C-alpha cells in the first residue's frame, strides 16, 4: 500500500479511520477544520507544501460529508501559484469543492486563460479539465475561441486536443452561441477524419451534443460517422491499446451509433446501404463468450446496434432478426444482458411490424416475473401491460399476467393494472377491473392495501366495477374491526374529490353510515360534516343509491354520541321530504327512519352496526369464471380457479379395502357458490396404508385447551386473515416441532387441537410425491364447514382432492395430494385450513413439509468421477456457488456430516484431502434430475464459520440448494436469517485481473 | 452523460465522490446515502443496473460493480450505454490496479488525491475522455511527476 506522500495528510486520514463512532469522527474533523482555519487566518507565510496539504485535507473532509465553508479562496488562489505542485492541487480541489456559480472563480479566469494558451501541456490539461468540469457562462464567453483553437490545432498533442473537445462541449452547454453553426459543421466533419481514437471519442461526444440541438446543420457528418463505424467494425488501423478485450474501442462504436440516432432519418441510399452492412456485421458477428468483460463489451455494441436498427426503421427481416436476438437475450442467465433484453423488448413493442414475432417470446418473458431482483419484475410487468394495450396480443398477455401473479409480485401487478385502467380500451376494462379486484383480494399483503386498491378501482373505472366488487369490500371491512376506521376515512377522502362515481357514493355512503362515528374526533369528520358531504350527492344519484344513503343518514344520526339538534333537523327534513318519494323502497325507508329517529337514542340498538358476515367464497371468482366461458379451458383464470377451489373426497370412517379407493363421493361444498371442477384423483392402484398414528379412540387425552402451550410468534399459526374469527382453540403441541419432525420423516402429526387431528403421510419418488392428509374428528359432534385449500408455490404442481364439508363425529377423512416439483425453489406449500366446531370458526395455516430435501437423493460417485465432475463445474463457465457462512451453529464435524446426510446428501468421506472438509453428492429431482456436488470447509479454530460450495450444471438449483443448506446450518431447524458477511472475498476464481487481486488483498 | 462517480465501501463510507452536476453538499451526501442503501440490499447475482429516478431524477440509472469491499458506482442518464459504463468501471479499476500495483481499499483511502486525478483522466465534465488504460497511467504520472 502506498501512502499519499504527505505525512500530515496520511496521519489525519488514519486518525479519522480509527474513530470508533460518528461522534468521535466529527470531533476529530472539527478539530482539523479549526486548525486549518487558524493556519489560513494567521500565518500569511504558509509554505506551498503546507497549503497543498491543508487543501487536500479539506477535500477529504468534504468528501466524508462535512460542510467546508471556508478556505475556498485558498484553494482558488493556488491555481495562480507559479509552482507546478500547487497549481495542480489548486485545479483539482477547486473543481471538486466549488460549483460553477462560485464568485471566486471569476478571479482566476485570466490565470486559467494564460494556462490554456500557454506552452506547458500539463498546465493546459489541468486548466481544460477544471473548466470542463465546472466552467460557467463567464468562462464560456472568455475562453471558447482559445479552446476551439486547441481542438483544431495540428501542433497540439492528442492529450490536449481531446480535453479541448470536451471542454468546448461544456462551454457550449453553458452558452450555445460559442459554436457558430456555419463554421463548425465543416470543422466537425474534418475532425471526424481524425485517426487518433482518444480524440475521436471526445469529438464524438461533442458531436452528440451539437447534433441533438440542431441535426439539420450537421448532415455532412453522417457519412463520416458511418466511415468511423466501418473502420472500427473491420478493425482497420486500431492500435492495440484502444481495443478492449479484443474489441476495437466499444465506447467509440457505441457513441458513434448514438450520434446517428439523433438524426431524424437517413434517406441517402448509399449511406443507408453501408450503414446496414455495418449493422448486419454487428448483429451477425456477436456470440456470447466466456470472458465476462469481453461479453459485456460486445453486447454494449450489439444493444446500441439494435437501438439504431429500431431508429432507422429497418426492413422487416432485419427487425425480426433483432427480435430473435432479444429473445435470446431474455432467456440467458446473465442478468445484465437479460435486463437490457427486456428493456429493449419493451421499446421494440412500439414498432408495429414486430408484435407478432415478440409474441413468440412471451413465455420467456414470463419467467422473469420470478426473478429475485425486483427491478426485473417491474420492467417485465411494464412490458406485459404494454402487450395488453396492443390489440393483437392483449388477451393473452392479460391472462398471463393474471396467471403469473403471486404473493411476491401481486402488489406491482395490481398497481400496474390500476394505472393502465384509465387508458385501457373500453372493451377490456371490465375484465381488467375484475381481475385486478380478484388479485388484490387473493394476494393482499394487508387489508388496508386491499381497500385502497378497490376504492381506486372504483374511482378510475366506476362504470366497469360490478356490485360484487364493492360488496366484497363491505364484507371485509365489516368482518375486520381494525380496518373500519381506515376504510371510513378513505371513503370520506374519496367523496371530497370533484367527480365522484355513483358506485363510490354507494360504497362510501355505506361505510360512512356504519363507521363514521369511529372518526368523529378527526377534523372534517363530525357527524354533521359527514352527513353534508354525503348528502351533496343525494340529488344526482339513482334510486337504489338513495335508499342506501337514507340508511346511512339514520346511522350517522343515531351513532353520534351527543345529539346535534342541527344535524337532527337536517336529517329529519330529508326523511320528511322523501316520505312521498315515487319509489316504494325509498319512500318506505324514509317513513320508517323518520319515525325511528324521532324516538331518539333509545333506538340505537335498532340501528346498531351490521353484524359480521359469515365467511364466504368470493362471488368475484364465480363471475370471473362466467366471463371466461368463451376462452379456452387452459386459460389462466380457470387454472387459478382450480387452485383456489377443490373437489371433495370423503372416506368417512372407512379404511381402503383391497388397495382400491372406496367410492368417491363429491360433496357440494357449503356456501361456495361455485361448482368446483372435478379433478380426477390419481389412483395408481396403491392406496396409502392404514395409518396407525391416528388412533382417535385411543388417545383423546389432549382435550383441555388451557393446558396447551402457547404458540410462539414465529409459528405459522399466527397468519389467520380474518382475525375476528381467530379462535381460542389452541393446538395441543408445537406446530413448529411437528413440522420439523415431518421434515425428517414421512409420516406423523401435522396439527392437533381438541377437535381435530391432522396427520400426514407422504411418499416420494423422483420429482413426484404423494401426500395423504388424514383429518380426524376427535369430537363427539360433527365438524362443519371444513375447508382445506393448499396454496402451492409456483414451482410445484399440486393436485388436491377436495375435503368434505362435514366430518362426522369420530370419523377420519383422507385427502390425497399429488405433488410434482417443476423447478428448484425453497418455497413450500401452505395449507389453509378451517372448520367450525359448532361454537366457533377455527382457521389456521400450516406449512406442509414439502421441502427441498424431499426431492434429493444421495448420489455415490467414485473418487475419480467426483473430482472430474467438480473440475468440470469449476469451468469455465464457473458453476460453483460459494459463500462464507458465519453464525453457524457450532457442531462437531461428525454431527455436521450427519446433518448433511439427513438432507439426503450422500457423504463421501476421504474424497477431500483436508480432514476438516465434508464433501458429498446428491441428485435433485425437479423436471430434470440434476447432480449436485456439495462441499463444506470448516475451520477447526472457529466452528461458527464455514465455507459452503455447491456446484450443479444448473445454477438455479445450486443457488436454491446453497441457501437451503445454509438455512439448515445456521439455525437448526429453522429461524433466524443466515448472516453472511458482505465484506468477505467473493469467489476469487470468478474474477480476473485487478478484481482478483482486490479480493485477495482485503 | 455521466452525472456522478462514486466509490464507497460496503459499509457505506464514501471513498470518492465526484459530481458532474452542480449540487449542494447536503444533496450530495443524501445521494451517497441513498445509493448505498439501494446497493447494499442487492444480492451478488443481481444485474448491475438500478433505476435511480428517485435518487437522481428521471431516467437516470446506477451502473455499479462490486469489488471486494468496494462499490464503484456511475450515475448516468439515458444518453449512455449501460454496458459501456460497466466496461469503463473495469478500465478505471484496471488503471488503479496498475498505478497502485494490486490496489486495495487502503490505497484508495490514503491516495484519494491520486484517485481523483485518475478519474479526471477518464471522465471529464460527465463525458468519457479516455478509455485507454496505458494512456491514462501516462497522463497521471505526468501530473504527479
- Mean pLDDT value across residues A584-594: 88
* Interatomic CA distance for residues A32 and A637, integer angstroms: 68
Averaged over A953-973, what is the pLDDT? 78
Judging contacts by C-beta atoms under 8 Å, the chain B residues touching residue A163 are 124, 129
Look at phi and psi of residue A583 and say left if phi exceeds 0, alpha if psi is from -120 to 50, else beta.
beta
Q: For the residues A624-636, what does the mean pLDDT come to? A: 43
The CA-CA-CA angle for residues A439, A443, A449, to 5°, reads 90
Q: B139 vs A982: CB contact, 8 Å cut-off?
A: no
Distances (CA, A) of A829 to A58, A265, A611, A929, A935: 58, 55, 34, 21, 29
Chosen from A8, A11, A157, A251 to mutate, greatest number of chain B CBs within 10 A: A251
Contact B68, A985 (CB under 8 A): yes
Query: What grid cell was written down for A739?
Result: 413440522
SS3 call for A522: coil
Mean pLDDT score across all residues of chain A: 77
Contact B94 A993 (CB under 8 A): yes
b/e code A225-236 from CB counts within 10 Å (16+ = b): bbbbbebbbeee
Min Cα separation B93/chain A (Å):
7
Local confidence band at A682 (pLDDT 50, 70, 90 cut-offs): very low
Coil/strand/helix, residue A835: strand
Order of strands across the sheet with A768-777?
A747-752, A756-765, A768-777, A812-821, A796-800
Residue of A nearest to B12 (CA): A64
Question: Length of chain A, please?
Answer: 1002
Flag whether residue A136 sits within 8 Å of chain B, measured between CB atoms.
no
* Neighbouring-strand partners of residue A757: A752, A776
Measured between alpha carbons, how far is residue A288 from residues A251, A285, A371 in Å?
A: 19, 10, 22
- The pLDDT value given to residue A15: 92
Chain B residues with CB inside 8 Å of A242's CB?
131-132
Gap between the Cα atoms of A325 and A355, Å rounded: 15
Instruction: Kindly state the average pLDDT of the residues A784-807.
Output: 80
- Distance (Å) from the C-alpha of residue A52 to the closest C-alpha of chain B? 11
Give how far Cα A390 sits from Cα of A311, A369, A522, A925, Å.
20, 20, 46, 39
Cβ atoms of residues A962 and A883 within 8 Å: yes
Does A54 reach chain B within 8 Å, measured CB to CB? no
* Residue A506 in grid coordinates: 354507494
Whether the Cβ atoms of residue A623 and residue A441 lie closer than 8 Å to each other: no
CB A905, CB A921: distance < 8 Å: yes
Q: Contact, A773 vs A788, CB < 8 A?
A: yes
Contact B14 A170 (CB under 8 A): no
Please give the Cα distance from A574 to A552 (Å, whole number).
12
Query: Nearest C-alpha of chain A: how many angstroms from B56?
Result: 17
Secondary structure of A730-779 in HEC code, one letter for each residue: CCCCCHHHHHHHHHHCCEEEEEECCCEEEEEEEEEECCEEEEEEEEEECC
Chain A residue closest to B97 (CA)? A994
| CB atoms A126 and B143 under 8 Å | yes
End-to-end CA distance of chain A: 11
CB contact at 8 A, B108 and B15:
yes
Beta strands in A575-650 (DSSP E): none
- Is the backbone of residue A938 left (phi > 0), alpha (psi -120 to 50) or beta? beta
Decide if A198 and B131 are in contact by the 8 Å CB cutoff.
Answer: yes
Consecutive H or E run containing A336? helix A335-348
Q: Are A375 and B70 an interchain contact pair (Cβ–Cβ within 8 Å)?
A: no
Nearest partner of A348 among A328, A388, A374, A320, judged by Cα: A320
- CB contact, 8 Å: A300 with chain B? yes
A1001 to chain B: which residues are within 8 Å by CB?
68, 102, 104
Task: Indicate the SS3 state at residue A935.
Answer: strand
- Residues near A28 by beta carbon (within 8 Å), at least 6 away in sequence: A15, A16, A19
Whether the CB-CB separation of A98 and A134 falls below 8 Å is answered with yes
* Residues of A whose CB is below 8 A from B130: 162, 198, 201
A88 touching chain B per CB within 8 A: yes
Closest CA to A558 of A489, A485, A607, A508: A607
Instruction: Say which residues have a Cβ less than 8 Å from residue A873's Cβ, sequence separation at least 6.
Output: A879, A880, A933, A951, A952, A953
Q: Does A900 touch chain B (CB under 8 A)?
A: no
A998 touches chain B (CB under 8 A): yes
Confidence of residue A713 (pLDDT cuts 50, 70, 90): very low
- Closest CB from A62, A208, A251 relative to B131: A251
Residues with Cβ within 8 Å of residue A239, at least 6 apart in sequence: A197
CA distance, residue B103 to nearest chain A CA (Å): 6
Nearest to A495 by CA among A480, A473, A516, A521: A516
Find the closest chain A residue to B141 by CA distance: A122
Do the interacting molecules here have an ipTM over 0.90?
A: yes
Q: Check if the beta carbon of residue A805 is closer than 8 Å to that of residue A827.
A: no
Interface of A with B in 921-960 (CB under 8 A): 959
- For the record, the C-alpha cell of A439 comes out as 388479485
Contacts of A21 in chain B (CB under 8 A): none
Chain Cα centroid distance, residue A128: 44
Taking CB atoms and an 8 Å cutoff, what residues of chain A touch B50?
375
Is A999 in Cβ contact with B40 (below 8 Å)?
no
pLDDT cut 90: percent of chain A above it: 17
Q: A375, B100: Cβ pair inside 8 Å?
A: no
DSSP H/E element including A323: helix A316-331
Owner of C-alpha cell 468511423:
A228
CB A824 within 8 A of CB A924: yes
Judge whether B82 and B63 are in contact, CB under 8 Å: yes
Name which of B48, B97, B130 is nearest A993 (Cβ-Cβ). B97
**Which of B10, B32, B129 comes nearest A166 by C-beta?**
B129
pLDDT band at A795 (very low <50, low <70, confident <90, very high): confident
- Average pLDDT over every residue of A197-202: 94
- Subunit contact B83:A299, Cβ cutoff 8 A: yes
- Residues 6 or more apart whose CB falls under 8 angstroms from that of A389 comprise A420, A423, A424, A425
Q: What three-state secondary structure class fits A80? A: coil
Distance CA A930, CA A958 (A): 10
Q: How far is CA A487 from the centre of its chain?
A: 27
Task: With H, G, I as helix, E, B as strand and everything else as coil, classify residue A1001.
Answer: helix
pLDDT in tens, A160-169: 999 999 999 9
Starting at the edge strand that comes first in sequence, how are the strands of the sheet with A784-791 ordered? A784-791, A830-836, A841-847
Q: Which residue has the cell 404494454?
A: A386
Please report the number of interchain residue pairs, chain A to chain B, with beta-carbon separation below 8 angstroms: 219
Number of separate helices (H) and strands (E) present in chain B: 6, 7
Q: How far apart are CA A228 and CA A258, in angstroms?
A: 13
CA of residue A460 relative to chain centroid, distance = 25
pLDDT at site A716: 32
Answer yes or no: do B10 and A983 touch at CB < 8 A. Answer: yes
Judge contact between B59 and B77, C-beta under 8 A: yes
| CA atoms of A258 and A362, how far apart (whole Å) | 29
* A916/A910 Cα distance (integer angstroms): 10
Cα A930 to Cα A716: distance, rounded to the nearest angstrom: 31
Residue A2 to residue B107, Cβ atoms within 8 A: yes
Among A941, A896, A942, CA closest to A919? A896
Q: Which residue from A92, A96, A335 is facing B45, i.e. has the nearest CB?
A: A335
Go through the domains of chain B in sequence order and give each one's CATH number.
Answer: 2-143 (3.30.450.60)
Position A353 scores a pLDDT of: 65
φ, ψ for residue A473 (rounded to 5)? -60, -45
Task: Return mean pLDDT, chain B.
Answer: 90
Q: Do A340 and B50 touch (CB under 8 A)?
A: no
Q: Write the pLDDT tens digit of every residue in A548-573.
A: 998 888 888 877 777 778 888 888 88
Taking only the tens place, the pLDDT of each residue in A91-114 is 878 888 888 888 888 888 999 999
Q: A807 and A650 in contact (C-beta within 8 Å)?
A: no
Quickly state the pLDDT bin for A249 (edges 50, 70, 90). Answer: very high
Cα A705 versus chain centre, distance:
42
Report how far apart the first and last C-alpha atoms of chain B are (Å, whole number): 31
Note the pTM of the prediction, 2 decimals. Answer: 0.55
CA distance A466 to A511: 17
Closest-approach residue (CA) in chain A for B45: A335
**Using one digit for the tens of pLDDT, what is the confidence trace for B39-51?**
888 878 778 988 8
How far apart are the C-alpha atoms of A957 and A561, rounded to whole Å?
A: 63
> Inter-chain contact A2–B117, Cβ cutoff 8 Å?
no
Q: Which of A358, A241, A243, A261 is nearest to A298 (CA)?
A: A243
Residue that wins the pLDDT comparison between B122 and A445: B122
Q: Which chain A residue has its CA at the smallest distance from B64's CA?
A: A336
Per-residue pLDDT averaged across A282-296, rounded?
82
What is the rounded distance in angstroms from the CA atom of residue A317 to the CA atom of residue A276? 12
pLDDT at A146: 94
| pLDDT over 70 (residue A653) | no
From the CA of A42, how many Å to the nearest CA of chain B?
Answer: 26
Residues of B in contact with A983 (CB under 8 A): 10-11, 68-69
Average pLDDT of the residues in A427-433 = 76
Tens of pLDDT, residues A858-867: 888 888 888 8
Helix, strand, coil tally for chain A in percent (to 5)? 55, 10, 35
A766-803 b/e with 16+ CB inside 10 Å = b? ebebbbbbbbbbbbeebbebbbbbbbbbebbebbbbbb
Amino acid at each position: 500500500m502506498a501512502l499519499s506522500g504527505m505525512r500530515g495528510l496520511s496521519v489525519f486520514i488514519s486518525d479519522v479511520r480509527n474513530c470508533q463512532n460518528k461522534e468521535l469522527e466529527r470531533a476529530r474533523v472539527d478539530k482539523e477544520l479549526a486548525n486549518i482555519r487558524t493556519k489560513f487566518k494567521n500565518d500569511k507565510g504558509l509554505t506551498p507544501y503546507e497549503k497543498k496539504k491543508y487543501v487536500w485535507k479539506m477535500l477529504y473532509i468534504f468528501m466524508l460529508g462535512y460542510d467546508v465553508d471556508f478556505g475556498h479562496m485558498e484553494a482558488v488562489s493556488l491555481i495562480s501559484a507559479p509552482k507546478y505542485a500547487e497549481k495542480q492541487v489548486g485545479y483539482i480541489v477547486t473543481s471538486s469543492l466549488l460549483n460553477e456559480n462560485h464568485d471566486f472563480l471569476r478571479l482566476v479566469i485570466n490565470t486559467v486563460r494564460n494556462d490554456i494558451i500557454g506552452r506547458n501541456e500539463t498546465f493546459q490539461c489541468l486548466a481544460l479539465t477544471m473548466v470542463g468540469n465546472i466552467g460557467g457562462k463567464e468562462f464560456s464567453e472568455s475562453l471558447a475561441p482559445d479552446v476551439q483553437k486547441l481542438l483544431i490545432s495540428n501542433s497540439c498533442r492528442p492529450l490536449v486536443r481531446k480535453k479541448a473537445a470536451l471542454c468546448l462541449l461544456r462551454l457550449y452547454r453553458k452558452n450555445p452561441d460559442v459554436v457558430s453553426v456555419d463554421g463548425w459543421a465543416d470543422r466537425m466533419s474534418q475532425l471526424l477524419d481524425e485517426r487518433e481514437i482518444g480524440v475521436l471519442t471526445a469529438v464524438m461526444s461533442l458531436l452528440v451534443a451539437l447534433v441533438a440541438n440542431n441535426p439539420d446543420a450537421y448532415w455532412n457528418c453522417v457519412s463520416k460517422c458511418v466511415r468511423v463505424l466501418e473502420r472500427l467494425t473491420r478493425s482497420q488501423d486500431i492500435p492495440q491499446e484502444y481495443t478492449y478485450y479484443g474489441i476495437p474501442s466499444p465506447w467509440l462504436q457505441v457513441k458513434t451509433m448514438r450520434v446517428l440516432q439523433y438524426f431524424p432519418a437517413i434517406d441517402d441510399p448509399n449511406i443507408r446501404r453501408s450503414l446496414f452492412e455495418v449493422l448486419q456485421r454487428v448483429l451477425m458477428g456477436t456470440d456470447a463468450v466466456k470472458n465476462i468483460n469481453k461479453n459485456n463489451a460486445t453486447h454494449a455494441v450489439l444493444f446500441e446496434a439494435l437501438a439504431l436498427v429500431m431508429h432507422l426503421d429497418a426492413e422487416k427481416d432485419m427487425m425480426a432478426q433483432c427480435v430473435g436476438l432479444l429473445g435470446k437475450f431474455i432467456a440467458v442467465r446473465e442478468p445484465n444482458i437479460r435486463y437490457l433484453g427486456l428493456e429493449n423488448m419493451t421499446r421494440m413493442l412500439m414498432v408495429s411490424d414486430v408484435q407478432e414475432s415478440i409474441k413468440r417470446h412471451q413465455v420467456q418473458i414470463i419467467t422473469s416475473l420470478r426473478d429475485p431482483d425486483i427491478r426485473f419484475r417491474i420492467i417485465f410487468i411494464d412490458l406485459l401491460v404494454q402487450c395488453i394495450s396492443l390489440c393483437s396480443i392483449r388477451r393473452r398477455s392479460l391472462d398471463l399476467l393474471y396467471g403469473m401473479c403471486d404473493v411476491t409480485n401481486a402488489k406491482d401487478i395490481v398497481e400496474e393494472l390500476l394505472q393502465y385502467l384509465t387508458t385501457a380500451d373500453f372493451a377490456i376494462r371490465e375484465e381488467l377491473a375484475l381481475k385486478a379486484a380478484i388479485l388484490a383480494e387473493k394476494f393482499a399483503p394487508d387489508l388496508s392495501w386491499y381497500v385502497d386498491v378497490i376504492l381506486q378501482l372504483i374511482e378510475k373505472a366506476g362504470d366497469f366495477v360490478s356490485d360484487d366488487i364493492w360488496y366484497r369490500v363491505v364484507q371485509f371491512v365489516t368482518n375486520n374491526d381494525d380496518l373500519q376506521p381506515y376504510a371510513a376515512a378513505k371513503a370520506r377522502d374519496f367523496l371530497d374529490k370533484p367527480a365522484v362515481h355513483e358506485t363510490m357514493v354507494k360504497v362510501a355512503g355505506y361505510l360512512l353510515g356504519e363507521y363514521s362515528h369511529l372518526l368523529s374526533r378527526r377534523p372534517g369528520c363530525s357527524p354533521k360534516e359527514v352527513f353534508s358531504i354525503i348528502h351533496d350527492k343525494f340529488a344526482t344519484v339513482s334510486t337504489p343509491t338513495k335508499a342506501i344513503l337514507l340508511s346511512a343518514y339514520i346511522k350517522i344520526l343515531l351513532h353520534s354520541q351527543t345529539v346535534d339538534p342541527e344535524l337532527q333537523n337536517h336529517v329529519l327534513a330529508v326523511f320528511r321530504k322523501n316520505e312521498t318519494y315515487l319509489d316504494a323502497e325509498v319512500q318506505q325507508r324514509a317513513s320508517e327512519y323518520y319515525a325511528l329517529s324521532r324516538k331518539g337514542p333509545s333506538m340505537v340498538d335498532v340501528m346498531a352496526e351490521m353484524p359480521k358476515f359469515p365467511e364466504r367464497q368470493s362471488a368475484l371468482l364465480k363471475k370471473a369464471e362466467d366471463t371466461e366461458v368463451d376462452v379456452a379451458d387452459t386459460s389462466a383464470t380457470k387454472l387459478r380457479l382450480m387452485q383456489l377451489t377443490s373437489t371433495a373426497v370423503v372416506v368417512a370412517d372407512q379404511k381402503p379395502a383391497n388397495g382400491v379407493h372406496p367410492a368417491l363421493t363429491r360433496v357440494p361444498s357449503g356456501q361456495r357458490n361455485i361448482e368446483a371442477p372435478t379433478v380426477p384423483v390419481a389412483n395408481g392402484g396403491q392406496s396409502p396404508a392404514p395409518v396407525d398414528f391416528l388412533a382417535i379412540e385411543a388417545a383423546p387425552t389432549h382435550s383441555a385447551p388451557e393446558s396447551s402451550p402457547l404458540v410462539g410468534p414465529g409459528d405459522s399459526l399466527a397468519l389467520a386473515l380474518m382475525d375476528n374469527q381467530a379462535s381460542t382453540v389452541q393446538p395441543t403441541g408445537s406446530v413448529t416441532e411437528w413440522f420439523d419432525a415431518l421434515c425428517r420423516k414421512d409420516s406423523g402429526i401435522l396439527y392437533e387441537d381438541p377437535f381435530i387431528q391432522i396427520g400426514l403421510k407422504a411418499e416420494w419418488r423422483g420429482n413426484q410425491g404423494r401426500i395423504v392428509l388424514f383429518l380426524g374428528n376427535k369430537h363427539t359432534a360433527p365438524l362443519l364447514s371444513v375447508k382445506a385449500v393448499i396454496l402451492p408455490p409456483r414451482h410445484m404442481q399440486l393436485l388436491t382432492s377436495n375435503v368434505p364439508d362435514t366430518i362426522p363425529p369420530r370419523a377420519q377423512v383422507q385427502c390425497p395430494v399429488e405433488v410434482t416439483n417443476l423447478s428448484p425453489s425453497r418455497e413450500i406449500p401452505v395449507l389453509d385450513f378451517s372448520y367450525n366446531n359448532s361454537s366457533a370458526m377455527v382457521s389456521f395455516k400450516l406449512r406442509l413439509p414439502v421441502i427441498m430435501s424431499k426431492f434429493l437423493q444421495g448420489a455415490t460417485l467414485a473418487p475419480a468421477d467426483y473430482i472430474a465432475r467438480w473440475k468440470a463445474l469449476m469451468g469455465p463457465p464457473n458453476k460453483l456457488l460459494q459463500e462464507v457462512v458465519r453464525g453457524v451453529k457450532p457442531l462437531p464435524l461428525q454431527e455436521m456430516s450427519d446433518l448433511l446426510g439427513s438432507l439426503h446428501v450422500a457423504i463421501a468421506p476421504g474424497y477431500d484431502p483436508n480432514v476438516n472438509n465434508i464433501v458429498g453428492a446428491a441428485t435433485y429431482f425437479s423436471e430434470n434430475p440434476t447432480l449436485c456436488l456439495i462441499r463444506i470447509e470448516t475451520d477447526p479454530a472457529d466452528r461458527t464459520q464455514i465455507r459452503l460450495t455447491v456446484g450443479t450444471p444448473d445454477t438455479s438449483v445450486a443457488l436454491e440448494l446453497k441457501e437451503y443448506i445454509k438455512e439448515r446450518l445456521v439455525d437448526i431447524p429453522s429461524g433466524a436469517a443466515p448472516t453472511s458477511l458482505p465484506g468477505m472475498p467473493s469467489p476469487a476464481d470468478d474474477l480476473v485481473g485487478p478484481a482478483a487481486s482486490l479480493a485477495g488483498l482485503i | 452523460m455521466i452525472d456522478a462517480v462514486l466509490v464507497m465501501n460496503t459499509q457505506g463510507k464514501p471513498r470518492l465522490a465526484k459530481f458532474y452536476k452542480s449540487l449542494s453538499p447536503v444533496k450530495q451526501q443524501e445521494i451517497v446515502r441513498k445509493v448505498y442503501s439501494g446497493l447494499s440490499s442487492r444480492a451478488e447475482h443481481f444485474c448491475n443496473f438500478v433505476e435511480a429516478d428517485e435518487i437522481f431524477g428521471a431516467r437516470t440509472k446506477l451502473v455499479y460493480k462490486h469489488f471486494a469491499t468496494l462499490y464503484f458506482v456511475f450515475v448516468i442518464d439515458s444518453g449512455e450505454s449501460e454496458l459501456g459504463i460497466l466496461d469503463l468501471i473495469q478500465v478505471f479499476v484496471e488503471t488503479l490496479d496498475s498505478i497502485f500495483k494490486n490496489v486495495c481499499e487502503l490505497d484508495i483511502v490514503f491516495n484519494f488525491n491520486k484517485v481523483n486525478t485518475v478519474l479526471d483522466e477518464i471522465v471529464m465534465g460527465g463525458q468519457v475522455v479516455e478509455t485507454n488504460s496505458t494512456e491514462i497511467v501516462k497522463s497521471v504520472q505526468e501530473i504527479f511527476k
